[in-house]
Amino acid sequence: MAAHGPYLIRLTHKLETDGRIFFLPSDKVYGYLLPYKPKGPMIELVLESFTVGRSVKANHRILPQTGQVRFKHFDAISKVQFALIKDKIGVFLEDRSSNGTYVNRTLVGRSKRVLLSHNDKIGVTEPKAIHFIYMHSNQDQYPIELTQKYTVAQELGKGACGTVMLGVRKEDSTQVAIKIIKKKEVALLPSSNKGNVLNEVKMLRAIEHPCVIRLEDAIETPDTLYIILELADGGELFDKIIEKTRFQENEAKLYFYQIVSAVEFMHSKNIAHRDLKPENILLVSDDESRPLIKITDLGLSKFVDFTTHLKTFCGTPQYLAPEVLFSRVRGSGIYDHKVDMWSLGVILYILLCGCPPFNPMHPKKSLVQQVTDGDYSFPESQWASISPEAIDLVTQLMTVDPKKRLGAAEALVHPWLADKEIQLKAEALMRPNVNREPATSIASKTRSGVSALFKRPAEEANGGQQCKRTKQ
């Protein structure tokens, strides 16, 4: 029998002695049950009837609290909420509850059964909740190099560079995100041969920042690159923007300080993101009182040829810096870390007013021309309540000339972000176990030089383009 880590629970044939329950080992695993929210160890299913509920006699007992996460509506859970039953046809879920068990948000109904499929989502007492995920044990569609270490579950999302799947590390049952990049669909850098990929992974694994998604591992086959990433399951900043429309200024500042802190750290390690946008900024949880963010795909530029990727980019250029768009036309591909700073300016603009700075329906200019001209404004109807310091930071980030555009270290000491209360809140989120004053990596001697930069007129910072409040 294969060895398993302490967090992979194998429940098999039950033996009762003196009121105590024992489980005998078996290798006949037909599926997995993954406690998703709250997170828990992945369970290997072997028993032909496997029960879940709050009773101590259930094969899997639902507890009122796991770590710091409480099981919502725990008191409504039945002693035996549901059972997983295997027969010749397949695996069925049988609802044995009083308050409802849901499969893919559809009520099963007391004493009724539903045939389960791979990645079916199970909710307990709540139709919209995902408490468990059922997975077949057959993982043949994935290479053995991956399935030896990870069980692949449901799809989390798709992007220009590949598909992201939920995964579970078998060694300790840690949930991870697995980014699957098909080589024939995405141009990889010539240096991305097997040896170099492993070297890059080793380097990137050593880089840790509380607001950067950690790269855990990478597995390469002749056709596919699998990048294993830390999982942040609070959703995308993009979805939060859609939900809230716009952020209060101090709220935006708390998010943005974390984002800039992460970018400054990565730039100090000579790593540029090149594809910053709200979809690539994730929330650790859905707890709005503690909005810790994490930037994902920061190490992707080490593997993916972004020059080719951006040349073939067919979506909106809303977040791309002017020099990136120029390079697409000229074919030069020459630009540096400052492309990230322009993207940060666009993100901040959207956080503060709820709208993008460039209008795809502009009667005279294409979106690309608006970006390359730096043709944006601050309509009074949307910006009247926003501080001049915030507008100044947006302007100095969205400066067409990258030589005049703020760097990440400079942005961190801009007067708008030099808010001690916000910095302390952000640092408490990023480093909850450290009791110290907020710090940036910029040297004190740089601060005096930076202060003069912030006194420049906005139109000078933006290469002559005046970006001021306008009436609309």
Q: What is the pLDDT of residues 174-204, one digit of tens each?
A: 899 999 988 777 655 555 455 556 666 666 7
Residue that finishes a domain, picked among 202, 230, 258: 230
In a domain, 299, yes or no: yes
**DSSP labels, 198-261:** HHHHHHHHT---TTBPPEEEEEE-SSEEEEEEE---S-BHHHHHHHHSS--HHHHHHHHHHHHH
Establish if 71 belongs to a structural domain.
yes
Burial readout 345-373 (b: 16 or more C-beta within 10 A, e: otherwise)? bbbbbbbbbeebbbeeeeeeeebbebbbe
Q: How many domains does the chain have?
A: 3
Question: Greatest CA separation found in the chain?
Answer: 85
Q: What is the pLDDT of residue 466?
A: 45
Please state, in angstroms and rounded to a whole number, the distance separating the CA atoms of residues 253 and 393: 11
Contact 105, 128 (CB under 8 A): yes
Q: Which residue has the tokens 């503060």?
A: 352
Answer whether residue 2 is part of any domain: no
Q: pLDDT digit string (tens) for 254-282?
A: 999 999 999 999 899 888 888 899 999 99
- Same domain for 193 and 268, yes or no, is no
CATH number of the domain within which 170 lies = 3.30.200.20
**Left if phi > 0, otherwise alpha if psi is -120 to 50, otherwise beta: which for 354?**
left
- Distance of alpha carbon 271 from alpha carbon 408, whole angstroms: 12
Q: Is the model's pLDDT at 145 over the cut of 60?
A: yes
If 0-12 CB within 10 Å is exposed, 13-18 middle and 19+ buried, where does residue 258 land? buried
For residues 202 and 157, membership in a common domain is answered with: yes
Contact assessment for residue 91 and residue 100, using Cβ atoms and an 8 Å cutoff: no
Nearest to 450 by CA among 401, 421, 417: 417
| CA–CA distance, 400 with 423 (Å, rounded to integer) | 28
Shared domain check, 261 and 226:
no
DSSP classification of residue 87:
-
Backbone torsions φ then ψ of 175, nearest 5 degrees: -80, 135
Asked whether residue 220 is assigned to any structural domain, the reply reads yes
207 and 318 housed in the same domain: no
The dihedrals phi and psi of 344, each to the nearest 5 degrees, come to -65, -40
Establish if 251 belongs to a structural domain. Answer: yes
CATH of the domain at 19: 2.60.200.20
Tell me how crowded residue 377 is: count the other CB atoms within 10 A of its CB: 15
For residue 69, what pLDDT is reported?
63
Q: Which of residues 18 and 89 earns the better pLDDT score?
A: 89
299 and 207 in a single domain? The answer is: no
Query: Which CATH number goes with the domain that contains 243?
Result: 1.10.510.10
Same domain, yes or no, for 206 and 336? Answer: no
Lowest mean pLDDT among 30-34, 64-68, 416-420, 443-447: 443-447
Provide the residue range defining the domain that includes 148: 144-230
Catalytic sites, residue numbers: 275
User: Which range, 203-212, 300-309, 378-387, has the best average confidence (pLDDT)?
Assistant: 378-387
Average pLDDT over residues 121-140: 90
192 shares a domain with 264: no
Contact between 154 and 169 (Cβ < 8 Å): no
φ, ψ of residue 346 to 5 degrees: the values are -65, -40
Dig out the tokens for 18 from the structure: 């003196």
Judge if 341 and 377 occupy the same domain.
yes
Residue 3 falls inside a structural domain: no
Q: 450: pLDDT confidence band, cut at 50, 70 and 90?
A: very low
**Of 208, 230, 252, which residue is a domain's last?**
230
For the whole model, what pTM was predicted?
Answer: 0.73
Q: Is 298 a domain residue?
A: yes
Residues 210 and 241 in one domain: no
Of 70 and 193, which is predicted with more confidence?
70
The confidence score (pLDDT) of residue 11 equals: 46
Q: Identify whether the C-beta of residue 186 lies closer than 8 Å to the C-beta of residue 162.
A: yes
Question: What's the mean pLDDT when you consider all of the chain?
Answer: 81
How far apart, in whole angstroms, are the C-alpha atoms of residue 414 and residue 337?
A: 18
- Residue 85 bridge partners (DSSP): 49, 92
Q: Distance of CA 373 to CAs 41, 163, 360, 392, 448, Å?
A: 53, 34, 14, 18, 31
pLDDT category at 469 given cuts 50, 70, 90 is low
Q: Is 1 within the bounds of a domain?
A: no
Interstrand relation of 293-295 and 150-159 (parallel, antiparallel or unpaired): unpaired
The dihedral sign for the CA sequence 127, 132, 134, 135? positive
Out of 93, 114, 136, a domain closes at: 136
Distance CA 371, CA 367 (A): 6
Report the number of secondary-structure helices (H) and strands (E) in the chain.
Answer: 14, 25
Pair (224, 82) in one structural domain: no
- 310 and 379 assigned to the same domain: yes
* E strand or H helix that includes residue 182: strand 175-182
Asked whether residue 185 falls in the same domain as residue 294, the answer is no
Contact of 381 with 403, CB cutoff 8 Å: no
Query: Counting beta carbons within 10 angstroms of the beta carbon of residue 44, is it exposed (0 to 12), middle (13 to 18) or buried (19 or more)?
Result: buried
- Nearest Cα residue to 343 out of 284, 261, 405: 405
Q: What is the pLDDT of residues 296-344, one digit of tens each?
A: 876 565 555 445 444 444 345 889 999 988 877 665 656 788 999 999 9
Q: What is the pLDDT of residue 416?
A: 97
